[in-house]
Amino acid sequence: MIVTVKKNADPKLLKDLIASFEKRGLQVNDSQGSNYHILGLIGDTTLLDEKMIKANPIVDEVTRIAAPYKKANRLFHPEDTIIDINGIKIGGNEKIAVIGGPCSVEGLDQICSLAEKVKEAGAVMLRGGAYKPRTSPYAFQGLETEGILDMVEARKRTGLSIVSELMDSDQIEEFDKYVDMIQIGARNMQNFTLLKAVGKKTKKPVLLKRGLANTIEEWIMSAEYIMASGNPNVVLCERGIRTFEKYTRNTLDLSVVPIIKEKTHLPIIIDPSHATGNWKYIETMSLAAVAAGADGLIIEVHENPECAWSDGAQCLKPDKFKHLIDKARNIAHVIGRDI
Amino acid sequence: MIVTVKKNADPKLLKDLIASFEKRGLQVNDSQGSNYHILGLIGDTTLLDEKMIKANPIVDEVTRIAAPYKKANRLFHPEDTIIDINGIKIGGNEKIAVIGGPCSVEGLDQICSLAEKVKEAGAVMLRGGAYKPRTSPYAFQGLETEGILDMVEARKRTGLSIVSELMDSDQIEEFDKYVDMIQIGARNMQNFTLLKAVGKKTKKPVLLKRGLANTIEEWIMSAEYIMASGNPNVVLCERGIRTFEKYTRNTLDLSVVPIIKEKTHLPIIIDPSHATGNWKYIETMSLAAVAAGADGLIIEVHENPECAWSDGAQCLKPDKFKHLIDKARNIAHVIGRDI
Amino acid sequence: MIVTVKKNADPKLLKDLIASFEKRGLQVNDSQGSNYHILGLIGDTTLLDEKMIKANPIVDEVTRIAAPYKKANRLFHPEDTIIDINGIKIGGNEKIAVIGGPCSVEGLDQICSLAEKVKEAGAVMLRGGAYKPRTSPYAFQGLETEGILDMVEARKRTGLSIVSELMDSDQIEEFDKYVDMIQIGARNMQNFTLLKAVGKKTKKPVLLKRGLANTIEEWIMSAEYIMASGNPNVVLCERGIRTFEKYTRNTLDLSVVPIIKEKTHLPIIIDPSHATGNWKYIETMSLAAVAAGADGLIIEVHENPECAWSDGAQCLKPDKFKHLIDKARNIAHVIGRDI
Amino acid sequence: MIVTVKKNADPKLLKDLIASFEKRGLQVNDSQGSNYHILGLIGDTTLLDEKMIKANPIVDEVTRIAAPYKKANRLFHPEDTIIDINGIKIGGNEKIAVIGGPCSVEGLDQICSLAEKVKEAGAVMLRGGAYKPRTSPYAFQGLETEGILDMVEARKRTGLSIVSELMDSDQIEEFDKYVDMIQIGARNMQNFTLLKAVGKKTKKPVLLKRGLANTIEEWIMSAEYIMASGNPNVVLCERGIRTFEKYTRNTLDLSVVPIIKEKTHLPIIIDPSHATGNWKYIETMSLAAVAAGADGLIIEVHENPECAWSDGAQCLKPDKFKHLIDKARNIAHVIGRDI
């Protein structure tokens, strides 16, 4: 960390500042020139709070050099983390995991019928929302526990593991009991109470979606919250970020794939459905994601998108979903992987 | 709501679509031209889900004309809502309410001493964080219940009502018992579970901060969640939005003041501390906020900003805070209000 | 176009408004309900100015349904436009065109040596900046005419066609004479004077980069400027947009590939160098771009990136560039194309 | 400037790097720790190119500490620059200058009649667009030279100095002859060719608008371009930035007022018309701008906004404009200024 000290700073205050760093076990290099005065802090600066240092009246600027995360950091954990979900492996050079299913669970028949179809198409897991984060209080809020139990039945019939979104720490017990991977949605990416709770109260893998306007570093810090609280099983999921573009719902940022692999050891999967918001662009963006090296895809599938209870515009029909997987498999082979 | 139908749409599907709208009590005007075909829906479209309609294969585009909120809508509630907090009134043409206090409660002595000073300076309420949403799991997370009880003591000594941030629905009972206004932070603006909980389980006024990258409409929809769940006492708070600018922490959007007053009947207050992230700009932006017609200001004050346990860089010392209020009072008089 | 009229609008003003539309040859459908009053305009609304209509005191909202572009619109020109540059074809199902070269031309030897190497690697065109748009007036501004002539010599020696950025209409004559494809940079995407000039004064293909914070529609409108001014030979180039992300220079938006192909008939190429700003991510994003269906790639190549006069961090060395092309070719084959 | 060197960097390359800095007259402080290795560069780093340094394979990160601008920098020019336009003074503690007029000049009668009215209302300068940057090639592009001459006549009749937008370096001679302040529009803020031209070919004051998605630092760098090219007479103008908000055309960033005054010595004026895009919010935002310390306001005024040839929705009628100025004057008095 670099601390720029103001010109003509009071020597007493400067001495105190340096002492405060040294007390934390940091080594301080003091460089002074005609125009600037810089302190270089050497050691573990993860626990330092830039804003607190910046509040010191003799400090002009604070620049962090080392990443503020540790548990998620590739530097301290060079090998890939591979998440195992009932034998399905995500990450490393494992098969690319395709997860399919509806935005919302709409009932037992719907989810079971769809589960059969996504399995036939080549998916290895089933997604389905039972608790739904909706912008409007008047929109459908999900079947809740009933939806979770419908998914459990679909798993029983097809053998597909299931993933669903958790919205409140009160539901962790339910999710820990029934669900195979727990999704934290984009709008809850910085719901720190929830992150700590899934870190402490469960060891089930957590699928952590990137917030709509969050940087990759903030996203990794949210993974760090879960990991620091005790649950190392985190899978990151890019689902598009908010930009000025209006032709898509959000903008899919595929550069996260090489970056997450460089900075962390965690698996990264891509959600082209929420990113584009338009079924017409999903196949194309899925192929691009696989070419970029994604460890998985999570895609919305519905038998009658026009009747879906939520997000119909971004659902693929099962036959198109199968077509996508077949094409993506060929791309995967080119880069030395499989689906 | 306007639904643009595709050219050469199957007449059977079109008939079904129109019937589905009429079944919901809407009147449908069908306009057809050489290039376009439009359905105008007349009636209460609040409950319609655009995305669901858009998923229909014969639909090209869906455009909402009416606002998607009702309870917060000025159209259906023309008079200003005035929130009363132990006699302090916020909104309408009432005195502009100034709320001051530290980012984090750091102990009984700190908060009580500061409470005296912000009161002397002219503040009518005391702010202080006991549960802190921090980007890093390694940063100070707040004194929690101890912090709340310290604020209660500060209220007892000074008579100032208190506001603090709620991060989890499990704490509502505590907040309902001890706190006078419950803050929902920017990162929880779309934590819909929490919004429903403060709507259902308390009638205490809620200070709803705008999310870092949310539109005004999404923000009003979050107020609508609280109101639709049973709690009409919402005060909106702008605290800056994320932009590309690096010289400020966020960008303060003062145009929310006239817009919130036009679209809703709720009070709007401004937080220049989080918006700018720099104590040097706080007074200027406070004067601007008052000139724009804000119903209140919420400002971070600390006796030793350089030692603050969080956000020191954006704290004012008590004397500067007093100076700000005095100057803002003169601006208020020009626009026919008082502080 | 949909015009929402205010409730209780003066019937005289309404009649005038409707007449003003009919005078322009539009058919007007008037739909009136209990809450809303809507005019649907049928016909060619390209020439209407929404903002002018919105200024009418009886108008509440104006919503454009039809795209505001014509010449670039796929609707009126269903077949793909294929741009021919000295026999190199870009667009349709032609070979994916790879363009390589340095950010800045640094001298005759550099550009000629590099031209040989990018040709060997598989590139079909040479890029090189002679006029450089730099944020700082103190940064290297390019070799100007000397740089252009150096590229001409490199073309002579290798047979590679050349592309370079035009910054001022005064240079069009020079570019028309010497350069094979004229680049308009991101910062000039809405320099309408320049767009009109390259439309009027040359028929050379124009490589139009997307602005840093522009929507796809605005970008297409800039292509429309060139085309409406007389030059139909436009190739679009995505080079990343500005977002809040800090780990990349910009965010590459690959969803533009399917969208540009749906909305327009123009070729679309991808610049992963400026988008990521980091040579480590270029290969990955290039593979993704090819999988998404891009018609070309434009990549910065330099023999000694650490000594490049500009943008060294985002340059590939020639051997890495060759490796990228070979890998991308395999991806291309999967989707039925070649490089 | 801080250069972070990679661990285990080749000592030969490191020595070369340090030598390259020293050759430019910089002093290099080398700080090495267990995890990081940092070079602190002391001296004039304005001319260094971060990206070029970052391309060096032994360099990990480059952090600029000193501002990259000199001529505009308050540090090297502590007193306020006051721009004199035919006796009207802008900046320092001078009267707040109000500039009014139509978006587009529509003819001699219109501009002369309006000039009388904005003068009566209290404006000291007349604005009017003769060359118009429009997103669509089919929208009205301005009266060009005829429009400029109409404004010259309006000046003759009223004595008001005139400001109009320049879009091409070919028109500088015309503007230098006829116009009193030359506006560079938001979309041309990084048209570096044009910036250099108005720096070299004229000494007329330049009103430099902030780009729609540009940082304050980039904006100051554009001012630096003009100043470094020979014209020190720059007035900065904030006109709103692009954000996700839809209820306003752009988001007015009033924090630029204290920041521009801190970082530079140049005057700063505010354009609430383009920022909000809605006449209803203009007065409020103007009062806020004055309270924040703006040195001027530039506001669109039109006698019949509903018939304006461009941007009617954001025009004030002359009586509302007068009302605004009167109210703003009272705010100005509170902060010790006048209008």
pLDDT digits (tens, 9 = 90+) for D243-279: 999 999 999 999 999 999 999 999 999 999 999 999 9
Interface test with B, best of D255, D264, D331 (most B CBs within 10 A): D255
Residues of D in contact with C188 (CB under 8 A): 191
What pLDDT score was predicted for residue C337? 97
**Cα separation, D323 vs D328, whole angstroms:** 9
Within C201-317, where are the H helices?
Answer: 216-228, 256-263, 272-276, 282-292
pLDDT of residue D35: 63
- With CA atoms as reference, the chain B residue closest to D273 would be B255
For residue A160, give the nearest of A120, A110, A131 by alpha carbon.
A120
| Candidates D5, D26, D28, D35, partner chain A, best to mutate (most A CBs within 10 A) | D35
* Inter-CA distances, B223 with A300, B44, B50, B99, Å: 30, 20, 20, 21
> DSSP letter string over A269-316?
EE-HHHHH--HHHHHHHHHHHHHHT-SEEEEEB-S-GGG-SS-GGGPB
For D23, residues 6+ apart whose C-beta sits below 8 A from its C-beta are none
Whether the per-residue pLDDT at D203 is higher than 70: the answer is yes
Helix axes B145-158, B108-121, angle to 10 degrees: 40
Task: Residue A247: list chain C partners with CB under 8 A.
Answer: 215-217, 255, 259, 263
Secondary structure class of D88 (helix, strand, coil):
strand
Angle subtended by helix axes C256-263 and C216-228, to nearest 10: 40
DSSP code for B254: T
Helix (H) or strand (E) holding C15: helix C11-23
Beta-sheet strands, E only, within chain C: 2-5, 27-32, 37-42, 59-63, 83-85, 88-90, 97-101, 125-127, 161-165, 181-184, 206-209, 234-238, 268-270, 296-300
Closest CA to C211 of C221, C220, C219, C199: C219
pLDDT band at A39 (very low <50, low <70, confident <90, very high): confident
- pLDDT tops 70 at residue B35: no
Position D307 scores a pLDDT of 66
A204-218, B102-116, C36-50, D124-138 — which is least confidently predicted? C36-50
At residue C160 the predicted structure's pLDDT band, cuts being 50, 70 and 90, is very high
Under an 8 A CB cutoff, do B196 and A313 touch? no
Nearest neighbour of B310 by CB, restricted to A51, A139, A307? A51
Q: Which residue type sits at C138? A: Y
Residue B36 in this model has a pLDDT that exceeds 80: no
Measured N-to-C along each axis, helices A279-292 and A318-334 cross at an angle, to the nearest 10 degrees, of 20
From D170, which residue of chain C is nearest by alpha-carbon distance?
C170
Query: Taking CB atoms and an 8 Å cutoff, what residues of chain A touch D242?
Result: 244
Chain C residues in contact with B61 by the CB 8 A cut-off are 65
pLDDT exceeding 70 applies to what percent of chain B?
99
Pick the most confident of A62-66, A228-232, C310-314. Answer: A228-232
* Greater pLDDT, D248 or D47: D248
Nearest to D42 among A36, A43, A244 (CB): A36
The Cα–Cα gap between A245 and C256 comes to 10
User: Mean of the per-residue pLDDT values for chain B?
Assistant: 93
| Closest CB to A255 among C213, C251, C290 | C251
Residue B36 Cα, gap to closest chain C Cα (Å) = 7
Instruction: Look at residue C54 in the predicted model and tell me its pLDDT.
Output: 80
- Which region among B239-243, B276-280, C49-53, C84-88 has the lowest average model confidence (pLDDT)? C49-53
User: Which residue, among C69, C73, C210, C254, would best test binding to A if mutated, counting the most A CBs under 10 Å from its CB?
Assistant: C254
Q: State whether residue C133 is helix, strand or coil.
A: coil
Q: Name the residue among B38, B65, B242 with its Cβ closest to that of C244.
A: B242
Q: What region does D159 belong to: left with phi over 0, alpha with psi -120 to 50, or beta?
A: left
* Interface test mutation site (partner C, options D5, D54, D144, D195, max chain C beta carbons within 10 A): D54
Q: What is the reported pLDDT for C282?
A: 97
Q: Identify which of D51, D133, D310 has the shortest CB distance to residue C192.
A: D133
Q: Answer yes or no: do B287 and D291 touch at CB < 8 A.
A: yes
pLDDT for residue B140 = 86
pLDDT number for residue C176: 98
Over range C84-108, report the average pLDDT. 97
Band of residue A35 on the pLDDT scale cut at 50, 70, 90: low
| pLDDT at residue B33, as a whole number | 65
User: Which amino acid, C68?
Assistant: P
Using CB atoms, pick whichever of D32, D40, D242 lies closest to residue A244.
Answer: D242
Q: What is the DSSP letter of D290?
A: H
The sign of the dihedral angle between the CA atoms of B292, B295, B300, B303 is positive
Q: Which residue has the higher pLDDT, D46 or A196?
A: A196
**For residue C38, which residues of chain B lie inside 8 Å, CB to CB?**
2, 29, 40, 65
| All structural domains of chain B | 2-63 (3.30.70.1140), 83-334 (3.20.20.70)
Confidence at D33, pLDDT banded by 50, 70, 90 = low
**C142 has pLDDT over 90:** yes
Q: Are C133 and C104 in contact (CB under 8 A)?
A: no
Please count the other Cβ atoms lying within 10 Å of the Cβ belonging to residue C6: 16
Q: Give the residue from C248, C264, C253 showing the smallest Cα distance to C213.
A: C253
Write the DSSP string, C95-113. Answer: PPEEEEE-SB---HHHHHH
Whole-angstrom distance, CA of residue D325 vs CA of residue D122: 7
Question: Tokens standing for C171?
Answer: 């240079």
Q: What percent of chain C has pLDDT over 70?
A: 99
What is the overall mean pLDDT for chain D? 93
pTM confidence score: 0.93
Q: How confident is residue C307, by pLDDT bands cut at 50, 70 and 90?
A: low
Q: Which chains touch C (3 or more CB pairs under 8 A)?
A: A, B, D
State how far residue C47 is from chain D, nearest Cα, in angstroms. Answer: 6
pLDDT value of residue D196? 97
**pLDDT score recorded for residue C35:** 62
Residue D166 has pLDDT above 90, yes or no: yes
- If one compares C6 and D86, the residue with the highest pLDDT of the two is D86
Neighbours of D129 (CB within 10 A): 28
pLDDT tens for each residue of C308-339: 777 777 889 999 999 999 999 999 999 999 99
Residue C283 has a pLDDT of 97
Confidence of residue C215 (pLDDT cuts 50, 70, 90): very high
- pLDDT, residue D94, reads 98
Determine the Cα–Cα distance for residues B317 and B327; give it in Å rounded to an integer: 16
Contact B35 C43 (CB under 8 A): yes
Q: Which of D187, D224, D312 sits opposite C137 (nearest CB)?
A: D224
Q: What mean pLDDT is predicted for residues B308-319?
A: 83
**CA-wise closest residue to B299 among B123, B89, B159:** B123
More confident residue, A56 or A270: A270
The DSSP letter of residue B204 is: S
Residue among C209, C250, C245 nearest C226 (CA): C209
- CA–CA min distance C334, chain A (Å): 6
